[in-house]
Chains A and B, each alone.
Chain A
Amino acid sequence: MQLKFRHFCIILSLIFTFSLIVAIASLFIVPSPSEIIDSMRSAEMIYSLKLTLITSSISTVIVIFTAIPMSYALSRYSFWGKSIVKSIIDLPMAFPELVLGLALLLLFGKTAIGSALSYVGINIVFTKLGIVVAQVFTALPFATRIAYTTFESINPRYELVSRTLGYGEFETFKNVTLPLAKDGILASTIITFARCVGAFGAVLILAGGSYMNTEVLPVTLYLNISYGNIGMAITSGIVLIIVSFIAIYAFEKLEGAKNVSKNRKPEHRFRRVQT
């Protein structure tokens, strides 16, 4: 049989997917179950898991409450500096997390802003607060991007109808826009949480990744690899994988549900000049 172009494409995608599955599976196959259970029970792992869940939850709340107004502004209003704000949501595609961490470290460590904050008792560098700050900066662009796409898919005429029926701008947002954006915002929340749990580069640099202090799951993985403690490293890897699989699954479900009800896609795109 002649190898056609399409066979080449199909086979390549199968090979890649297969390798990825095997790689992920080896996480579960290589260590012995007892080793994993012991690692799970270790004080370090429990500390790390707890800290990860707490910081990620706080960061997710902050990110979502920032991303919703930000993406709504981008989608509905024209304002000074809009194009700059808009470029932010494209940033994470190309911007290295480590550099983001370094930039934040300099901002909070070496500038007047940082000194002013520590003067009033807010210390960000090498603290647990630093973890949250790093997670927020890593996840915010992703969340804003998804929420923006969601608002763009909602015809602003729904809002005008609500306004003409007597409701103000915020009431309209609450009664009409938000319920229509529900699925997209939920998807955005899930992705945000997953990003926060998995955030590593910026967290390591800004919060310092110190043992049982600013140690979140990706940091546990990294620290234990460097000590040659494979069991602990693999266990944190497994926990991280489980979290992201749940997130991906939930996200796919929501996206699927949204595409089914896509008949409400707007015909006209226009922007509000007056409010």
Chain B
Amino acid sequence: MFLKIENLSIDLGEFKLEDASLSVEQGEYAVLIGPTGSGKSILLETIAGFYRPEHGSIKLKDKELTVLPPEKRNVSVVYQDYMLFPHMNVYDNIAYGIRKKRRSETDIEQSIEKVSNVLKIKHLLHRHPDTLSGGEQQRVAIARALVVEPELLLMDEPFSALDIKTREELRTLVKDAMNEYRTTVIHVTHDFEDVFALATQVAVLHEGKIIQVGTPEEVFSRPVSEFVADFVGTNALRCTIEKKEDSGCMLNCNGVKLWCADSGTEGDSVTVAIRPESIIISREMVHTSARNVLQGTVQSVVTRGHLTWVTVKVQNITLRVVITPNSAELLNIHEGVEVYLIFKASGVRMVR
């Protein structure tokens, strides 16, 4: 195992991280999600060496990290608010880490040339951080972290301060950069799009405990607890594109055929997300303009607050639907009844 965190506990008085365990293979892109205050940043900063754990171990390539100071760990950090050194220009910010390794200036120039090509910041090198846009600053911060070729890259909500379009550009750039540098990543986020676009592994943190680890598909379609189900909300399915049409495509999701309004290439594997509130439940077959009508069996009905969560098994897949307790009662929905699930092709969103 490349990175192995075992029974990590940190006591900060008001907050405790308890027995966190997480394993990440080399080259994996692990995304850490969880509600605010669940300890994501603390876990990340403990891996970086900011906090000393009470007990437990962090091993990177079988080397014990917990006894090492941050500068000996070969772990880089990227923060939401960039943390570019304001008294240095972009070039010096990026060069900062490699200069420490005392390489020749031409060597340094080459490394910076490479990383600035990958992150498309060549035209910014002479600028000062405070003259850059948020997206540009974050590209520089990622370059600064990557240029030292860290064994592990930690990112704490790196895209949170950016607008949606910039986020998407950055996701693509980050993906390219990770392929180029073959870096193992732990990325903290509140944005599930990051999970679908980047993650090969997801960990859910709640009140200082890691409560589920798995592939995005596992976590989103088979949450281990009500909390995770609630938190992730959305249905995620792994599908292949079976047929392409003008207005979208037909997907095969584990044997179930779904229509999707997004376009794609035939034969590709994709993940699609279906919001539980965009699915309509009916006891009878109805003819509507929605293209997806699936027949299934109710597996569970859970009412919490103003919402009722209904899990429906359709052949080999499970979908979660949210309705009001009132509708659940009117339709007499309980475990074992046959229902129809109706949703539009545009409600099936391709996320990768």
Which A residues are within 8 Å of any B CB, using their own CB?
155, 157-158, 160-169, 175-176, 179-180, 182, 261, 263-264, 267-268, 272-275
Cross-chain contact B86 with A274 (CB below 8 angstroms): no
Cross-chain contact A180 with B86 (CB below 8 angstroms): yes
Q: Which of B71, B81, B85 contacts A164 (CB 8 A)?
A: B71
Known: A166-B148, A179-B87. Contact between A267 and B69, CB under 8 A?
A: no
Chain B residues within 8 Å of chain A by Cβ, number: 30
Listed by A's residue number, 6 A-B pairs whose Cβ atoms lie within 8 Å are A160-B45, A161-B77, A166-B97, A168-B69, A263-B130, A274-B51
**B9 interface residue per 8 A CB criterion:** no
Please, how many angstroms separate the alpha-carbon atoms of A66 and B344 in the complex? 70
Which B residues are within 8 Å of any A CB, using their own CB?
12, 41, 45, 48-52, 69-71, 73, 75-77, 79, 81, 83, 85-87, 96-97, 100-101, 130, 144-145, 148, 150
A264 contacts across to B, CB distance below 8 A = 86
Q: Which of B49, B51, B52, B130 contacts A163 (CB 8 A)?
A: B49
B96 contacts across to A, CB distance below 8 A = 162, 165, 175
Please, how many angstroms separate the alpha-carbon atoms of A161 and B156 in the complex? 12
- Of all A-B residue pairs in the complex, the 7 with the closest CB atoms, nearest first, are A165-B97, A274-B52, A163-B70, A166-B100, A179-B87, A161-B83, A163-B71
Please, how many angstroms separate the alpha-carbon atoms of A163 and B50 in the complex? 10
Cross-chain contact B83 with A164 (CB below 8 angstroms): no
Known: A155-B83, A158-B85, A160-B70. Contact between A165 and B50, CB under 8 A?
A: no
Please, how many angstroms separate the alpha-carbon atoms of A176 and B70 in the complex? 16
Cross-chain contact B76 with A272 (CB below 8 angstroms): no
B81 contacts across to A, CB distance below 8 A = 155, 267
The distance from the CB of B136 to the nearest CB of chain A, in whole angstroms, is 16
Closest to A156 in B: B50
Please, how many angstroms separate the alpha-carbon atoms of A229 and B211 in the complex? 83
A180 contacts across to B, CB distance below 8 A = 85-87
Closest to A179 in B: B87
Closest to B154 in A: A164
Please, how many angstroms separate the alpha-carbon atoms of A158 and B145 in the complex? 13
The distance from the CB of B44 to the nearest CB of chain A, in whole angstroms, is 10
Please, how many angstroms separate the alpha-carbon atoms of A165 and B93 in the complex? 11
Q: Which of A155, A164, A175, A275 contacts B77 (CB 8 A)?
A: A164
Please, how many angstroms separate the alpha-carbon atoms of A263 and B132 in the complex? 13
A167 contacts across to B, CB distance below 8 A = 71, 100
Cross-chain contact B86 with A166 (CB below 8 angstroms): no
Please, how many angstroms separate the alpha-carbon atoms of A263 and B96 in the complex? 23
The distance from the CB of A268 to the nearest CB of chain B, in whole angstroms, is 8
Please, how many angstroms separate the alpha-carbon atoms of A82 and B50 in the complex? 20
Please, how many angstroms separate the alpha-carbon atoms of A179 and B87 in the complex? 7
Cross-chain contact B86 with A261 (CB below 8 angstroms): yes
A165 contacts across to B, CB distance below 8 A = 71, 76, 96-97, 100, 144-145, 148
Closest to A267 in B: B81
Cross-chain contact A273 with B69 (CB below 8 angstroms): no
Closest to B100 in A: A166
Beyond contacts A160-B77, A164-B71: 12 other A-B pairs, Cβ-Cβ < 8 A, are A157-B83, A164-B49, A164-B75, A164-B77, A166-B148, A167-B100, A268-B41, A272-B50, A274-B49, A274-B51, A274-B52, A275-B69
Closest to A264 in B: B86
Please, how many angstroms separate the alpha-carbon atoms of A155 and B84 in the complex? 11
Closest to A272 in B: B50
Please, how many angstroms separate the alpha-carbon atoms of A260 and B83 in the complex? 18
Please, how many angstroms separate the alpha-carbon atoms of A46 and B50 in the complex? 55
Cross-chain contact A274 with B97 (CB below 8 angstroms): no
The distance from the CB of A66 to the nearest CB of chain B, in whole angstroms, is 25
Please, how many angstroms separate the alpha-carbon atoms of A268 and B76 in the complex? 19
Please, how many angstroms separate the alpha-carbon atoms of A272 and B48 in the complex? 12
Please, how many angstroms separate the alpha-carbon atoms of A275 and B48 in the complex? 11
Please, how many angstroms separate the alpha-carbon atoms of A175 and B85 in the complex? 10
A169 contacts across to B, CB distance below 8 A = 69
The distance from the CB of B236 to the nearest CB of chain A, in whole angstroms, is 31
B86 contacts across to A, CB distance below 8 A = 180, 261, 264
Please, how many angstroms separate the alpha-carbon atoms of A244 and B81 in the complex? 40
Please, how many angstroms separate the alpha-carbon atoms of A182 and B71 in the complex? 24
B87 contacts across to A, CB distance below 8 A = 179-180, 182
